[in-house]
Amino acid sequence: MCILSARLRGDSMVDFKETEFNSSVATLKRIDALMMELHKAGFDNHSPNRLGLLRRLNVEGHEKFTGDEKKKCIKYEMDLLNVEINNDESKVEKNVYHVHPEKYKHNKLIEKWKIMKPIIDSYELYVIGCLDRHGMLMKNKEETDETPETWED
């Protein structure tokens, strides 16, 4: 339902709250789907896929993150960018007679991802922690119910 048509009817506040609620639910569902994919990618230990999913999770939670959390995420991204820049696989480092370019690029790529893996692991834990602190992870009732049974009537 469009906000303009709701205003014409005079019930814009109700529709706006409903739209805001639906938007929040949609965000939580997207985060949950990304978390499932990130979990699966962790089994394959496929760092490029994990990094892409992690960046999408950062985008989804970015609006709720505090200024310090945003700065730390930017620092992780800068660390990853520095590894990318310092491990350019496009050129041979020294003059050699017999070099197989495909093998050289493959080895450089493996070396780059070995350096990036600990940064990605740390970044992943940090972003998931931020999402959890802001209540953006879908959990089972048992995981979130902190009320002891003895308090209930």
Asked if residue 33 has pLDDT above 90, the reply is no
Q: How far is CA 6 from CA 3, 22, 23, in A?
A: 5, 16, 17
Whether residue 91 is contained in a domain is answered as yes
| Mean pLDDT to the nearest integer, 85-104 | 65
Whether residue 143 is contained in a domain is answered as no
| Mean pLDDT to the nearest integer, 117-143 | 84
25 compared with 95, residue with greater pLDDT: 25
Question: Terminus-to-terminus CA distance in the chain, angstroms?
Answer: 42
Return mean pLDDT, the chain: 76
Whether residue 6 is contained in a domain is answered as no
At residue 14 the predicted structure's pLDDT band, cuts being 50, 70 and 90, is low
* Total of domains in the chain: 1
18 vs 114: CA distance, rounded Å: 46
Whether residue 64 is contained in a domain is answered as yes
Whether residue 49 is contained in a domain is answered as yes
Asked if residue 81 has pLDDT above 80, the reply is yes
Which residue range(s) make up the domain with 64? 18-138
129 compared with 102, residue with greater pLDDT: 129
Whether residue 58 is contained in a domain is answered as yes
| Mean pLDDT to the nearest integer, 84-100 | 65
Q: How far is CA 140 from CA 27, 31, 46, 57, in A?
A: 17, 15, 28, 20
